[in-house]
Amino acid sequence: MKPTDIKDPEYFHKVVDCQYACPAHTPVPHYIRLIAEGKYPEAYMVNWDSNVFPGILGRTCDRPCEPACRRVRVEEEPVAICRLKRVAADNKGDVKRLMPQGPFKANGKKVALVGAGPASLTVARDLAPLGYELHLFDELKAGGGFMRSQIPSFRLPETVLDEEVNFILDLGIKTHFNHYVASMKELLTKDYDAVFVGTGAPRGRDLPDLPGRQEGKENIHLGINWLGSVAFEHTKKIGKNVIVLGGGNTAMDCCRTSRRLGGENVKVVVRSPFAEMKASPWEKEDAQHEDIPIIDNHVPKSFVVENGKLKGMTFEKVKAEYDAAGKRKLVPVGGPDVFFEADDVLIAVGQENSFPWIERDCGIEFDKWEMPVVDEKTFCSTNTKVFFGGDAAWGPKNVITAVAHGHQAAISVDIFCNKKDLVKDRLSPFVNLVSQKMGIHEWGYDSEVVIDQRYAVPQADKKVTLTNRKKEVELGFDLPTGFKEAERCLNCDIQTVFTETKCIECDACVDICPTACITFTENAEAETDLRAMLKQPATNKTQDLYVSDVLPTKRVMVKDENVCLHCGLCAERCPTAAWDMQKFFYNVTKAHTHACSK
């Protein structure tokens, strides 16, 4: 294999599993160390820069970082990255003084942001310090988008949401709430230099053809509409017996909200097997903890309505079968249909985009699925003035993805308004690599690896939370537990950097490495061969091999990044400092930093 090019920032970036997996590439280990040091405002600001909503995300993030965490491969449970973010947010103190301070000198450019969800809010935050005049539209009465209308207060208290939305609005954003934008054409005739569409995926999928759907409609609700109506306090009650259809996170929010609105016998019924449900494992756990059974392998057949009143639903029992290609088929197992009683049914079987307000003749091309054609890198539509991001771009995802889109769209808007090239004039990420050596056995980071298992986040008493819709269930880590959880982080951003010209091939690093990462071996042409030749064969192909140039003995050093603990022992035991532990800092360039360096 060719020597690894560690000058390519993406090589070391990939080693920082969590950061790499985070759509916004939040420098996770960096902020976790700040938490361990008790520097909560700093930890908050690292997050704020990257993901804009640390307090919100510290409670609700889909956390793609956690399954990626190295700790999963080394022991089992990832570091509680998400809940540590909350520790930073809960203890941040006054951070407003650390944020850009307006009023900002106007740059004469005007941008319309349609929809006030996380995507638009991110664009707003990134562009405001540059002096843009930003007009934010939403049909709802306040900002936050689905974070406000969909995510229930027992997961995300309104105060937390308000605070972080207001950090942005306070940068001088001109808000137009209770304002539905009914025509893109009309918007384009106004004097906006650019338009950003962050209108989300606002339409809940229905089951219109199921028998009884019409007759029972009084008590059959679309999950997201119902949640929105609860959030804005139009709906305050639900029947005793509730069926929630669907296996995603919306279904979990629906069933848990039902429990708080009078639902005593609430059950989730889902077509797929339990293990294949879309909901995150922790969402399922939380629902079950609130005495909500999840009944899998049941396909809805009909609503049972008697005398105009919904009585329940019938289901067909199925099982999952897989063909050779692994494709799933649900096949009936036979036997009579199953009946479940219900006073109300909530349908939470998916969401869709819909753009009734965008005329199809205003230069924005739509594909055969009625989705706008959007460039994956620039977020620009076929109308060069109009940008998309968040759920509006490629369908429903999550908050952190909307934020990541927002950052990129903001850069594009800024480049566009400055009449530069959206692709060529994008800046690469900010990267830095600094040695952590401070002395013998002395590193600039806490290199000790603790064996503590993941700490559980304490929850408020069920008796209280089930009777008060707004009472937050999770209490968050207290500081001592937060510290201990932070210590579980393996500091994957502290990279092992190898300099072959210094190596005397004494084997000390090979001998000391606790997880058998390092091998000195003859090289091989093919990566698969080299993987098999290592001291401990490198079976995890998603993890790279770090290959050195040829050494005096004609061998190469090969390090399997897979389960490196970043303990620094290789560097500590190396007599010549051929190994060094170097802190790698990688930060996605945002519109304001982008502008500064222009």
Query: Which residues contact ligand SF4 by CB under 6 A?
Result: 496, 503-509, 512-515, 517-518, 559, 564-570, 573-576, 578-579
C-beta neighbour count of 82 within 10 angstroms: 21
Residue closer to ligand FAD, measured from CB, 252 or 503: 252
* Minimum gap (Å) between residue 396 Cβ and ligand FAD: 6
Residue closer to ligand SF4, measured from CB, 403 or 518: 518
341 binds ligand FAD (CB under 6 A): no
Residue closer to ligand FAD, measured from CB, 201 or 557: 201
Q: Which residues contact 7 (CB under 8 A, 6 or more apart)?
A: none
410 binds ligand FAD (CB under 6 A): no
Locate 155 and state its tokens: 């997961």
List alpha helices for 53-152, DSSP H: 54-60, 65-68, 70-74, 81-90, 118-127, 146-149
What residue 253 binds from ligand FAD, ligand SF4, other proteins, none (CB within 5 to 8 A, per partner kind)?
Answer: ligand FAD
Residue closer to other proteins, measured from CB, 160 or 565: 565
Amino acid at the residue 138: D
* Minimum gap (Å) between residue 27 Cβ and other proteins: 23
Size of the site for ligand FAD (CB under 6 A): 40
What residue 522 binds from ligand FAD, ligand SF4, other proteins, none (CB within 5 to 8 A, per partner kind)?
Answer: other proteins
What residue 564 binds from other proteins, ligand SF4, ligand FAD, none (CB within 5 to 8 A, per partner kind)?
Answer: ligand SF4
Contact pick of 123, 142, 392, 569 for ligand FAD (by CB under 6 A): 392
* Minimum gap (Å) between residue 269 Cβ and ligand FAD: 17
CB-based contact 539:531 (threshold 8 Å): yes
Residue closer to ligand FAD, measured from CB, 120 or 519: 120
198 binds ligand FAD (CB under 6 A): yes
89 binds ligand FAD (CB under 6 A): no
Entry field: residues in the chain: 598
C-beta neighbour count of 573 within 10 angstroms: 16
Residue closer to ligand SF4, measured from CB, 43 or 565: 565
Residue closer to other proteins, measured from CB, 57 or 492: 492
From the list 65-73, 393-401, 425-433, 491-499, the region that binds ligand FAD by CB under 6 A is 393-401
CA dist., res. 309 & res. 219, Å (int): 8
Residue closer to other proteins, measured from CB, 320 or 510: 510
113 binds ligand FAD (CB under 6 A): no
Q: Which residue has the tokens 């309104």?
A: 158
Q: Which residue has the tokens 């970043």?
A: 566
Return phi, psi of residue 241, to 5°: -105, 120
114 binds ligand FAD (CB under 6 A): yes
What residue 451 binds from other proteins, ligand SF4, ligand FAD, none (CB within 5 to 8 A, per partner kind)?
Answer: other proteins
Binding site for other proteins (CB under 8 A): 73-75, 441-443, 446-449, 451, 504-508, 510-512, 514-516, 521-522, 536-537, 539, 552-555, 563, 565, 567, 569, 572-576
CA dist., res. 303 & res. 266, Å (int): 16
Edge-to-edge strands, sheet with 518-521: 518-521, 556-560, 545-547
What residue 443 binds from other proteins, ligand FAD, ligand SF4, none (CB within 5 to 8 A, per partner kind)?
Answer: other proteins
The 34-63 site mask, x for binding ligand FAD (CB under 6 A), equals --------------------------xxx-
* Minimum gap (Å) between residue 379 Cβ and ligand FAD: 12
112 binds ligand FAD (CB under 6 A): no
* Minimum gap (Å) between residue 506 Cβ and other proteins: 4
Locate 425 and state its tokens: 């004039």
CB-based contact 131:104 (threshold 8 Å): yes
201 phi-psi bin (left φ>0, alpha ψ -120 to 50, beta other): beta
Q: Which residues contact 324 (CB under 8 A, 6 or more apart)?
A: none
Residue closer to ligand FAD, measured from CB, 278 or 426: 278
Residues 6-35 that bind ligand FAD (CB under 6 A): none
Edge-to-edge strands, sheet with 430-435: 430-435, 579-587, 494-498
Locate 561 and state its tokens: 């990044």
Locate 216 and state its tokens: 């029972």
What residue 249 binds from other proteins, ligand SF4, ligand FAD, none (CB within 5 to 8 A, per partner kind)?
Answer: ligand FAD
Residue closer to ligand FAD, measured from CB, 51 or 548: 51
Q: Positive or negative, the Cα torsion across 422, 424, 427, 433?
A: positive
Which one, of 217, 210, 223, lies nearest residue 316 by Cα?
Answer: 210
Locate 134 and state its tokens: 């930003």
From the list 74-82, 112-120, 411-419, 553-561, the region that binds ligand FAD by CB under 6 A is 112-120
Contact pick of 134, 227, 243, 518 for ligand FAD (by CB under 6 A): 227
The CA–CA distances, whole Å, from 486 to 92, 311, 452, 457 equal 16, 50, 10, 13
CA dist., res. 395 & res. 351, Å (int): 8
CB-based contact 32:84 (threshold 8 Å): yes
Residue closer to other proteins, measured from CB, 124 or 564: 564
CB-based contact 261:238 (threshold 8 Å): yes
CA dist., res. 559 & res. 57, Å (int): 35
CB-based contact 476:457 (threshold 8 Å): yes
Residue closer to ligand FAD, measured from CB, 257 or 314: 257
Q: Both ends of the chain: CA-CA distance in Å?
A: 39
Cis peptide bond upstream of 64, omega within 30: no
352 binds ligand FAD (CB under 6 A): no
CA dist., res. 192 & res. 111, Å (int): 5
* Minimum gap (Å) between residue 300 Cβ and ligand FAD: 20
224 binds ligand FAD (CB under 6 A): yes
From the list 199-207, 231-239, 546-554, 580-588, the region that binds ligand FAD by CB under 6 A is 199-207
Residue closer to ligand SF4, measured from CB, 465 or 519: 519
CA dist., res. 5 & res. 11, Å (int): 7
Residue closer to other proteins, measured from CB, 438 or 456: 438
CA dist., res. 530 & res. 536, Å (int): 11
Q: Which residues bind ligand FAD (CB under 6 A)?
A: 60-62, 114-120, 137-140, 145-147, 150-151, 180-181, 198-200, 202, 224, 227, 249-250, 253, 357, 390-392, 396-400, 402
